[in-house]
Amino acid sequence: MMTTLKILNSRKSYGALEVVSDVSFEVAAGERVALLGHNGAGKTTLIRMILGLTPLTSGMIKVMDHAPGSRVARCSIGYLPESVAFQGALSGREQLRHFARLKSLPIQKADDLLERVGLAHAADRKIRTYSKGMRQRVGLAQAILGKPKLALLDEPTSGLDPISRHEFYDIVQELSDGGTAVLLSSHALTELASRTDRIAIMSKGKLVANADLTTLRRQAAMPINVRITTTSKESDRVAGEMGGTRKNGQVVELTCLQNEKMATLARLTALGSIISDVEISPPSLEELYRKISSSELEMK
Amino acid sequence: MGDDSGCTDEFVCSGFNACGGATAGNLGVDPLTVAATSITTLSVYLVPLIALLLSFDAIAGEIERGTLALNLAYPLSRAQILIGKFLAHFLVLAFAVAVGLMLSAALVIVQNGLVGLSFLPLVRLFFTSLALGATFLGIGYAVSASVRQPGVASGVVIIIWLVLVVLYDLSLLGVLVADDGGGFTTTFFPYFLVANPADAFRLLNMPDVAVDALTSGVNAASPVAGTWGLLVSLLGWPFFALLAAWLVFRKVEP
């Protein structure tokens, strides 16, 4: 697979303050990577470094094998800023056509995209009359204009309602199916889990995690919750055998690590018909994120 | 903003023109020349002010709204952004000045008829106004890029306007009086006078009589104060100011 974005030992410091320190990772074509981190963790600075807006203190970034800010790099990138703003006096259509011209694309592309993001009905209204969600859609439309090789989406779903968020991730899926590398930062953790291929977590300027969700779970060694429903009056026995705690007459809860999961399940199955149901809940991305970003676990 | 400034410009120009016309009738001088002189006195204050008001928000405003970062993510160079803004503002300014001057000309023609009118002073005034305006557009961009906040930029450009257009002349005058025809007056004064685009503009548009009167006490023979020196100053400044704006803008992290 081709590497669209390469970041190697990149640093950015303002005087003594190191905003981004020694960050290295890659995003391949068609890959969707979520960039997580607290406010001020360095996500936006890193995105601005990729765009060439903020020069690196040291290290190297390559977009399609070209320096950030170079013509090739800029032609390959679609960017949605954190709080996107446009010329309020233009209509959605005029604004998108303007962006299409900047990218040397046929005007028709702009009109098609307005349709795709669901703004066709408001295309000829001034942007200043748009709601926050509609402006965000214009932002998304300009970011995916001309199918960029790399899409940098900074907080793309903020201000979108649940239905719009769903549509947004459908569009991201389409993009990555078409070979676009997608790097998106977000705070809405639950929706990222199922909609991205890899998760990178930044904390205080450092990259503290960079792996898919399953690997992260294993590395973080967070317990998996197993909730066993037994046939009545057997819960004490099951609790004793499995080493869990009895919650009520029928339910026993226990925890196990990722690498013990299959063994635990095998022991459960061996108990036979006294078990009527088993519910397994892995730690949510939110719990993982809290643990990783607070412990600053170094992972390679 | 451009429209407002244009209206002010037209209004004041036509007002002055009416006075100019009346004076011309009494003195028997070409009424358009007199009108152009009156308008020059006013334009030297107004054109820089309009240019600065148009330009102070150009970069700082885009930084604040966050539109600059997005524009720079596109394959668009900073020089292109600056030139684009300059062309747009320059056209606004040109339109405002042209409408103002044409109204003046129309009024003079209505009052005096077409006989014996020379349009040269008006044409000269138009083009020198544009050069003066372009200079201050460039200065406005340089300020806008270096202070980053529109509010601060507006304050700084007003101070610059006050210094270059009002206080500069006052201090030169003060030094002239103190120097009393000494070394400064003969050696440095012409350079100081020509170096300021506003003064170069004024001198270029003054009728010869007035220039003679002004420079006779100074050093009429000084080659710098001649038309060529003034032209070089007035035409050189826009390039210098825009170059400075580009140099500052190049370093801006949006």
B94 sits in which H/E element:
helix B78-112
Per-residue pLDDT tens for A275-296?
888 888 888 888 888 888 776 5
Question: A-B interface: how many C-beta pairs under 8 angstroms?
Answer: 45
Say yes or no: B207 contacts chain A, CB-CB below 8 A: no
> What is the Cα–Cα distance from A124 to B244, expressed in whole angstroms?
39
Predicted confidence at residue B8, as pLDDT, reads 40
User: pTM of the entire structure?
Assistant: 0.80
Predicted confidence at residue B84, as pLDDT, reads 95
Count of residues for chain B? 254
- pLDDT by residue for chain B (254 residues), tens digit each? 333 433 444 444 444 444 444 444 444 567 888 888 889 989 999 999 999 999 999 999 999 988 999 999 999 899 999 999 999 999 999 999 999 999 999 998 898 888 777 888 899 999 999 999 999 999 999 999 999 899 999 999 999 999 999 899 899 888 888 887 777 777 788 888 888 999 889 888 876 654 555 554 444 445 566 778 888 889 999 999 999 999 999 999 88
Q: Is pLDDT above 80 for A179? A: yes
Closest by Cβ to A103, choosing from B72, B74, B254: B74
On chain B, the residues whose CB falls within 8 A of the CB of A75 are 75
- Select the CATH number that applies to the domain covering A3-217 from these four: 3.30.70.2660, 3.40.50.9100, 3.40.50.670, 3.40.50.300: 3.40.50.300
* A83–B70 C-beta distance less than 8 A: no
* B73–A77 C-beta distance less than 8 A: yes
Q: Amino acid letter at A251?
A: V
Determine how β-strand A198-203 pairs with β-strand A206-211: antiparallel
On chain B, the residues whose CB falls within 8 A of the CB of A89 are none
* A48–B67 C-beta distance less than 8 A: no
| pLDDT band of A261, cuts 50, 70, 90 | confident
* A53–B254 C-beta distance less than 8 A: yes
* A71–B73 C-beta distance less than 8 A: no
What is the number of structural domains in chain B? Answer: 1
- SS3 of A37, please? coil
CA distances A283 to A132, A189, A247, A279, B64, Å, are: 33, 12, 20, 13, 41
Q: Which domain holds residue B66?
A: 2-250
Per-residue pLDDT tens for A164-173?
888 899 999 9
Backbone angles phi, psi at A41, to 5 degrees: -80, -10
Domains A3-217 and A223-282 fall in the same CATH topology: no
- Please say whether the beta carbons of B254 and A53 come within 8 A: yes
Residue of B nearest to A82 (CA): B66
On chain A, the residues whose CB falls within 8 A of the CB of B70 are 79, 81, 84-85, 142
* A84–B253 C-beta distance less than 8 A: no
Say yes or no: B66 contacts chain A, CB-CB below 8 A: yes
Q: What is the distance between the terminal CA atoms of chain A, rounded to a whole angstrom?
A: 20
Q: What percent of chain A has pLDDT over 70?
A: 97
Could you please state the CATH topology (level 3) that the domain comprising A223-282 is classified under.
Alpha-Beta Plaits (3.30.70)
**CA nearest neighbour of B107 among B14, B34, B38:** B14
> What is the Cα–Cα distance from B65 to A87, expressed in whole angstroms?
9
Prediction ipTM score = 0.79
* B76–A102 C-beta distance less than 8 A: yes
**CA nearest neighbour of A137 among A152, A156, A109:** A156
Domain ranges of chain A: 3-217, 223-282
Average pLDDT value for chain A: 87
